[in-house]
Amino acid sequence: MKANQQRIEEHIELLSRFTATPGEGVTRLTYSPEDLQARNYIKEKMASYGLNVSEDGFGNIFGKLDGALANAPSVIVGSHFDSVPNGGAYDGTAGVVVGLEVAALFQEHKLKPTYPLEIIAMVEEEGSRFGGGLMGSRGMMGLLTEEDFNKLADKDGILATDAMTDIQLDPSKDKLRHPVTIKAFLELHIEQGPILEEKGIQVGVVEAIVGLSQLEVTVQGQAGHAGTTPMDRRADALVSAAQIIADLPLIALNEGDGTVITTGRLHVFPNGANVIPDKVVFTVDIRSGKEAHVQNAIRQVEALVRARDSGGISTSTEQLLYIAPKALDEKVRSSLKQASDALTIPYCSINSGAGHDAMVFSDFTACGMIFIPSKNGLSHCPEEWSDAGHLANGTDILFEVAKQLTEAQSL
């Protein structure tokens, strides 16, 4: 019995409907009404596959199939179910759906594992609502303190804790997951780049994930009338911000080795067509496979920002996220390759330029990831698409490895 491609397609299609931007891609922000709709769908499916469903104090969803061994650590399979604004139907969701399908296969094969199998659907991997990213996994593993979580607010000033209670989630529930309760973590994700499609290979076994940092820069100037303030008497925050942003690509290019820098979010205040902007807040996302490049680039960006501090302009930079590049577990990688071979599914090794929850878990447990091709290499946009046949084959690989890991005493 193999993964059911039709069931996978149906999950993807139904979950894609839980979007705040119908017809313009998937916008499913953490703790939004669309989060609640997707959450209810995922919980219902988990229950129908015989899993015990629970949620933690961040709203991460767990569906557990108990193991024969009492108090044994779980093999966790899954991904995140939040999205970027106007994103696609596959980023994160594909891994959650594959997790559901792995659970369905355990049920259909009537498997009673020795170690528990847990399917996970995590919140706020993208950081699209509360900033930074990887929040669900960082929170679970104790890398985001309760105090810091309680301070998190979205761009409208809505606290994460209030947004949770708005969708009947309980922030006072247990938040921490002790590493001894996790045996391994497996995630399928779409590649989000062009390599697998170009090579014509349908599975990438991930060797390592890039290091990344997200900075938030604030440029403060002086508001004024757009018609009456002479050009030489302005402290225009947007002009200064634009000059900083225009110099970022050069920092990435000079650093080299595939280092990339992006400003993807920018807020202008007060954002009136005839008002000189007095404040601009923007993000700087820095990534590289080599940690030294990430660190050098951070220092250079900070210096570039500080250099604007004059003539009525003042700046500040806050680091919202820093995570070093991570290699994934060698034994799990080789189990994934062996399973692909046994299923005669061609694979290659690949590195990830995107961040993933696996990079958080990899400091605490054995992690493995596989990628499947993304059409035209596109992701974080409505055109994002992957073949359900590839998802089904990826599910078969994860099912095999999850079966082994829930039986074997060691990895």
Q: CA torsion 217→222→226→227, rounded to 10°?
A: -160
Q: How far is the CB of 180 from ligand GLV (least distance, A)?
A: 28
Cβ-proximal residue to ligand GLV, closest one: 354
- With CB under 6 A as the contact rule, the residue among 75, 144, 186, 354 that binds ligand GLV is 354
Q: How far is the CB of 125 from Mn ion (least distance, A)?
A: 6
Residue 368 interacts with ligand GLV (CB under 6 A)? Answer: no
Q: How far is the CB of 105 from ligand GLV (least distance, A)?
A: 27
- With CB under 6 A as the contact rule, the residue among 277, 325, 355, 382 that binds ligand GLV is 355
Name the residue type at position 124: E
Q: Identify which of residues 61 and 354 has a Cβ nearer to ligand GLV in the complex.
A: 354
Q: Identify which of residues 76 and 354 has a Cβ nearer to ligand GLV in the complex.
A: 354
Report the candidate in 140, 179, 239 with the shortest Cα–Cα distance to residue 367.
Answer: 179
**Location of structure tokens 């189990």:** 335
Q: Identify which of residues 92 and 277 has a Cβ nearer to ligand GLV in the complex.
A: 92
**Alpha helices by DSSP H, 121-279:** 135-140, 146-151, 160-166, 195-199, 237-255
Q: Return the sign of the alpha-carbon dihedral for residues 44, 73, 107, 345.
A: positive
Cα–Cα distance, 345 to 136 (Å, whole number): 32
Give the DSSP H/E element, type plus range, for residue 411: none
The most distant pair of C-alpha atoms in the chain lies apart, rounded to whole Å, by: 77
- With CB under 6 A as the contact rule, the residue among 101, 126, 154, 236 that binds ligand GLV is 126
Contacts to Mn ion by CB under 5 A = 91-92
Q: How far is the CB of 21 from Mn ion (least distance, A)?
A: 16
Q: Contact, 136 vs 149, CB < 8 A?
A: no
Q: Identify which of residues 73 and 127 has a Cβ nearer to ligand GLV in the complex.
A: 127
Number of other residues whose CB lies within 10 A of the CB of residue 207 = 14
Range 379-394 burial, b when 16+ CB lie within 10 A, else e: bbebebbbbbebbbbb
Q: Contact, 172 vs 249, CB < 8 A?
A: no
Q: Give which of Mn ion, ligand GLV, none residue 355 binds (C-beta under 5 to 8 Å, depending on kind).
A: ligand GLV
Residue 191 interacts with ligand GLV (CB under 6 A)? Answer: no
Beta bridge partners, 368, equal 186
Q: How far is the CB of 299 from Mn ion (least distance, A)?
A: 26
Q: Identify which of residues 100 and 354 has a Cβ nearer to ligand GLV in the complex.
A: 354
Q: In the window 254-283, what residues touch ligand GLV (CB under 6 A)? A: none
Q: How far is the CB of 199 from ligand GLV (least distance, A)?
A: 21
Q: In the window 130-159, what residues touch ligand GLV (CB under 6 A)? A: 133
Residue 402 interacts with ligand GLV (CB under 6 A)? Answer: no
Q: How far is the CB of 26 from Mn ion (least distance, A)?
A: 11
User: What is the number of H-type helices and E-type strands within the chain?
Assistant: 12, 16
Residue 339 interacts with ligand GLV (CB under 6 A)? Answer: no
**How many residues line the site for ligand GLV (CB under 6 A)?**
4
Secondary structure letter of residue 329 according to DSSP: P
Q: Give which of Mn ion, ligand GLV, none residue 133 binds (C-beta under 5 to 8 Å, depending on kind).
A: ligand GLV
Residue 211 interacts with ligand GLV (CB under 6 A)? Answer: no
Q: Contact, 348 vs 199, CB < 8 A?
A: yes
Q: How far is the CB of 409 from Mn ion (least distance, A)?
A: 32
Report the candidate in 351, 300, 296 with the shortest Cα–Cα distance to residue 325.
Answer: 351
Residue 85 interacts with ligand GLV (CB under 6 A)? Answer: no
Q: Identify which of residues 219 and 248 has a Cβ nearer to ligand GLV in the complex.
A: 248
| Rg of the chain over all Cα atoms, to the nearest angstrom | 22
Q: Contact, 61 vs 53, CB < 8 A?
A: yes
Q: How far is the CB of 18 from ligand GLV (least distance, A)?
A: 18
Q: Identify which of residues 235 and 370 has a Cβ nearer to Mn ion in the complex.
A: 370
Report the candidate in 209, 43, 66 with the shortest Cα–Cα distance to residue 134.
Answer: 209
Binding residues for ligand GLV (CB under 6 A)? 126, 133, 354-355
